[in-house]
Amino acid sequence: MSAAAPVVPGTTGATPGTVPAVRADPAAAPLAPRARLLPALGAVYRAQLSRARVARIPLLFVATFQSVGIMVMLRGVVDGGDAEAARAVVAGSSVLVVAFVALNLLAQYFGQLRASGGLDHYATLPVPPAAVVLGAAGAYASFTVPGTIATAVTGCVLFQLPLVNLWVLAAVIPLAGAALAGLGAALGLLAPKQELATLFGQLGMSAALLLGVLPAGNMPAPIGLVRDLLPSTYGVEAFARTFDPHPDWVMVGADLSVCAAVGVVSLAAATWAYRRAACR
């Protein structure tokens, strides 16, 4: 195509109601508009959410059942009165639901989509990559809401912890969800094989389980370091702090900020990975 051909600046990002006039060749046909980020994100989110009804409900039940089961099991060795351990168990088990769904299941979903050629569908539509990744990540984070709340309430009752600050889940679920879903999406899209995507997703969830539900104080230093590297840890810590009679809200905010920052970075990485996987 002619180097001098005018690609009209600023017309590639479609503005509402206009057909962008990218005309490299004077005889070139006008291009259909692109889908804009927010409507496309909404459409992907809605479609992904509808998949829950068809395919995801048994898995969401398993995710919740697993967390409640762990709490019941640990109730045998952790006293309701043992404040630090009880808080860690309840917070860790609740965030584990998010790790199961947003990290593990999303990694598997994108791994499967990539391996089967399903990404071609999105790649041949004029949709911003971020809309596909954020829509799917948002939907998977949303899937975790009922299970996380059910686990947290059950845990508070089981370990005699106060229910008053459970509203903080309204911040913990989306932010830990963003961090873990971004990580899951990136793993699923970067893994060279579908089996590896499944493996990474499972390992991530196992790490969140093993390092999340026990108090950090008793862990050896190297394991504590690994725990600090895991994004779910900050969701667990933020949630656990709110069981204190006088929660340190600054620290809660700091922990949630780490989740938010990891979410931004991992979702950006996942968007990059999507671009890379969609066009070779």
Partner 1 sequence: MSTGTEQAAPSTAATARDAVIAVRGLVKTYPAGRGRRGAATPAVRASDGIDLDIRRGEIFGLLGPNGAGKSTLVRQLTGLLRPDSGAIGMLGHDLVRHPERASRLIGYLGQESTALDELTVSLAAETTGRLRGLDARTARAERDAVLAELGLTELAGRAIKRLSGGQRRLACFAATLVGERQVLVLDEPTTGMDPVARRAVWAAVDRRRAEHGATVVLVTHNVIEAETVLDRVAVMDNGRVIACDTPAGLKVLVADEVRLDLVWRDEPPLHLPEVAALRPAAQISGRRWTLRLPQARARAVIAEITGGQAFAALDDFTLATPSLEDVYLALGGRQKGLVKA
Q: Please, which residue, 115 or 254, has the CB nearer to partner 1?
A: 115
Which of 11, 66, 112, 202 touches partner 1 (CB under 8 A)? 112
Q: Which is nearer to partner 1, 123 or 150 (CB)?
A: 123
Which residue from 9, 10, 26, 222 is in contact with partner 1, where contact means CB under 8 A? 26
Among 15, 116, 206, 218, binds partner 1 (CB under 8 A): 116
Stretch that binds partner 1, among 30-38, 141-149, 207-215, 244-252 (CB under 8 A): 30-38
- Distance CA(29)–CA(233), nearest Å, equals 53
* One residue of 70, 98, 105, 113 binding partner 1 per CB under 8 A: 113
Exposure class string for 21-34: b at 16+ Cβ within 10 A, else e? eebeeeeeeeeeee
Q: Spell 80-108 as b/e; 16+ CB within 10 A means b.
A: eeebebbbbbbbbbbbbbbbbbbbbbbbb
Residue whose structure tokens are 């598997």: 108
Q: Contact between 38 and partner 1 (CB under 8 A)? A: no
Query: Under 8 Å CB-to-CB from 30, ≥6 apart: which residues?
Result: 19, 21, 22, 23
Applying CB under 8 A, which of residues 9, 76, 124, 245 lies at the interface with partner 1? 124
State how far the Cα of 204 lies from the Cα of 257, in Å rounded to an integer.
21
CB of 14 to partner 1, least distance (A): 7
DSSP state of 218: G
DSSP 23: -
CA distance 237 to 89: 11
Restricted to residues 40-99, the positions that interact with partner 1 (CB under 8 A) are 40, 42-44, 46-47, 50-51, 54-55
Q: Which segment (22-30, 141-149, 163-171, 185-193) binds partner 1 by CB under 8 A? A: 22-30
- Is residue 279 a contact residue for partner 1 (CB under 8 A)? yes
Which residue's entry shows tokens 């108090």? 215
Give least dist CB 143 to partner 1, A: 13
* Tokens, residue 117: 């050629």
Return residues touching partner 1 (CB under 8 A): 1-5, 14, 22-29, 31-36, 39-40, 42-44, 46-47, 50-51, 54-55, 112-113, 116-127, 131, 278-280
